[in-house]
């Protein structure tokens, strides 16, 4: 009887973990490695040979300026 209860408890624990839904990550993560750089986001990953350049447009004293890092 005891082994049956242990199996039933294990099945209930497994079924309980399958019910929980995970949230989707929407962040983009980039890393610069020794040989290449890579970025991973919600729609997949990309690896490039040169480090990824991130550019954004900002306003400085009423003038649009493109800043890249």
pLDDT digits (tens, 9 = 90+) for 3-52: 888 888 888 888 777 776 666 656 677 777 666 777 877 777 777 676 66
Tokens of 47: 């690896």
**In a 3-state reduction of DSSP, which class is residue 67?**
strand
Residue whose C-alpha is closest to residue 31's, from 13, 12, 51:
51
**In a 3-state reduction of DSSP, which class is residue 51?**
coil
- 8-to-2, 15, 41 alpha-carbon distances in Å: 10, 10, 39
Please tell me the number of Cα atoms within 13 Å of 61 on its side-chain side.
Answer: 0
pTM of the predicted model as reported, rounded to 2 decimal places:
0.30
Indicate whether 66 pLDDT > 70. Answer: yes
What does the DSSP 8-state code read for residue 46?
Answer: E
């Amino acid at each position: 009887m005891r082994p049956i209860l242990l199996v039933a408890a294990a099945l209930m624990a497994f079924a309980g973990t399958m019910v929980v839904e995970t949230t989707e990550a929407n962040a983009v993560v980039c890393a610069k490695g020794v040989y290449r750089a890579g970025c991973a986001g919600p729609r997949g990953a990309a690896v490039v040979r040169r480090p990824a350049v991130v550019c954004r447009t900002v306003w400085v004293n009423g003038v649009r300026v493109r800043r890249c890092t």
